[in-house]
Amino acid sequence: MSALDLVLDHTGVAVRDLDVGQQKYDRLGFTLTERSFHSGSRTPGGPVEKWGSGNHCAMFENGYLEIIGITDPNLYSSTQDYLTRYEGQHIVAIGSGDADKSYPVLSGRFEGVTPANKLQRDAPFGPNNEETRQAAFRNIHVDRANFPEAKLIFIDHLTPEVLWQPHLLSHPNGAVALAEVALCVEDLDETCGRLSRLFDQQPKEVMPGGKVFNLSRGNVYVITEARLKDWVGVTPPAMPYVAGFGVAVKDLDATRDFLAARDIPTKDHPYPALWVAPEHTCGPVLTFSQA
């Protein structure tokens, strides 16, 4: 079977109030893009239309974080489906390269993989936002009926230069990369079996109740509800649940000092890393680790 070079591209947190989400992640020390508004096709090959959602992104040297919310409740948006379940992290996007090449491979591995559809948004461009350029993507979706654990997307970036602008890559908290995401599931082995087919690899058991898929860049952890509670003391608002994401930073001690200066409490992991509780992030557990 053909191989794909898979990387952890981005993760998305759906918030009930985009202004609040913007404020919280700014306080956490992320440099956020100006608000951008989505357009897309609802179905593969369908017409591109204006959607009722928008976002702010924190762009890293590797990967990025998306804060997404409703901007017009009268227009179509998949974001409302996320918020019906819970406020928090939902989107896990895997970079898979050219959609025309990756779709046949992925659809051959797994049922419920849909052909790529178009998504685009106008994005401010330049150090002073002096221009507006179109950011364009082709997204291969995995049907939630076949993979309910997350909104799993395989993404093809058509305009990476519009997203990864140099002035957006510096963050007060020292963030340099999206390092990991964590899925909390009811049946660890069954979920990992489906991901093994999609990723064409076997996970490693890293702890009781936890396994990890090491992609070419970034990690996808799969953990049980009991493991999540033992790890950070969090009870999922629903199951399955996208429990959190991790960001690699330049200097973990400097990040700790930065958060303390903003009165954001943290707790230490032994590996080493530190984490921030869901009340400060609109839902997910946020982990900072040394790059």
pLDDT 10s digits, 189-220:
999 999 999 999 999 999 899 999 999 999 99
**Residue entry with tokens 């179109």:** 134
CB proximity list for 79: less than 8 A, separation 6 or greater: 14, 52, 53, 68, 69, 70
Residue 268 pLDDT greater than 70, yes or no: yes
The pLDDT of 149-168, averaged and rounded, is 96
Note if the pTM is more than 0.85. yes
Report pLDDT for 49. 84
Q: What is the CATH number of domain 7-168?
A: 3.10.180.10
How is domain 175-290 classified at the CATH fold level? 2,3-Dihydroxybiphenyl 1,2-Dioxygenase; domain 1 (3.10.180)
The pLDDT of 88-111, averaged and rounded, is 97
Distance CA 69, CA 289 (A): 27
Mean pLDDT over all residues of the chain? 95
DSSP label at residue 43: S
Report residue 242's pLDDT band, with 50, 70 and 90 as the boundaries: very high
Q: Domain segments of the chain: what residues?
A: 7-168, 175-290
Contact 282, 87 (CB under 8 A): yes
The pLDDT of 99-117, averaged and rounded, is 95
The pLDDT of 253-269, averaged and rounded, is 97
Residue 92 pLDDT greater than 70, yes or no: yes
Report pLDDT for 2. 65
User: Of 28-32, 105-109, 250-254, 269-273, where does mean pLDDT reach its minimum?
Assistant: 269-273
Residue 1 pLDDT greater than 60, yes or no: no
CB proximity list for 90: less than 8 A, separation 6 or greater: 12, 13, 14, 82, 150, 151, 242
Residue 119 pLDDT greater than 90, yes or no: no
Distance CA 209, CA 211 (A): 7
Report pLDDT for 73. 93
Report residue 118's pLDDT band, with 50, 70 and 90 as the boundaries: confident
